[in-house]
Amino acid sequence: MTHSRRQFLQIASAGAASAALGAGAEPVLGMIFPPTNYPVPPEARLLYPSGIRFLAAGVGLERMTPEGYDQVFDRIVPAAQKLAKDGANAISVMGTSLTFYKGAAFNQQLIKTVMQATGLPSTTMSTGIVEGLQAAGGRRIAVATAYNEPQPRHGVGSRAPARGGK
């Protein structure tokens, strides 16, 4: 069973509301980042200044290329398992390129694999972007990236239909 980004955020929001009401421990979001030792971004704490604790883990990506992603892919599940062991209640794999470089089916399988390995609700940044565009009614988008030429054509073109988009 996969969770949509909306369901994922509802779970996190319910946890934050429970924590605010004193009903249990503060929920913890485990975030997996492509580089090693990447800190929790300041915007996470700006969006949720209280009620959610964040944990970060990196997988050691050195180059933003398909070969670089292939080298770190097998580190994602162990990072998720470590975050779960450290107290995460949900997992988010950050970094769009790391999650879209092999297309929509790969992204969905990654979410499923992390969920199965941890038993926790899981999502990816790519899923969040696609669902956000769909929720906003996005039909045509312009993309500017820091990636080399082959990546956006493969990644963005293959991501759009992830959840039934046109």
Q: Is a pLDDT exceeding 50 seen at residue 145?
A: yes
Contact 101, 66 (CB under 8 A): yes
Q: Is a pLDDT exceeding 90 seen at residue 7?
A: no
Tokens coding 61: 């990506």
Tokens coding 105: 């089916």
Tell me the range of 71-85, 132-146, 151-165 where mean pLDDT is highest: 71-85
Average pLDDT on 43-48 reads 90
- Predicted TM-score of the model (pTM): 0.76
- Using the structure block, give the residue that is written with the tokens 């300041």: 42
DSSP code string of 74-128: TTHHHHHHHHHHTT-SEEEE--HHHHHTT-HHHHHHHHHHHHHHHSS-EEEHHHH
d(CA 113, CA 97): 18
- Average the pLDDT over each of 1-15, 59-73, 102-116 and give the range with the smallest value: 1-15
Closest to 110 (Cα-Cα) out of 82, 77, 151? 77
Average pLDDT on 30-54 reads 92
Closest to 81 (Cα-Cα) out of 49, 121, 119, 138? 119
Question: What pLDDT shows up at residue 147?
Answer: 64
140 band by pLDDT with thresholds 50, 70 and 90: confident
Question: What pLDDT shows up at residue 2?
Answer: 56
The tally of domains found in the chain comes to: 1
Instruction: Specify the CATH number for the domain of residue 102.
Output: 3.40.50.12500
DSSP code string of 36-57: TTPPPPHHHHHH-SSS-EEEEE
The pLDDT mean for the chain works out to 82
53 band by pLDDT with thresholds 50, 70 and 90: very high
Range of the domain at 56: 5-163
Q: Is a pLDDT exceeding 60 seen at residue 82?
A: yes
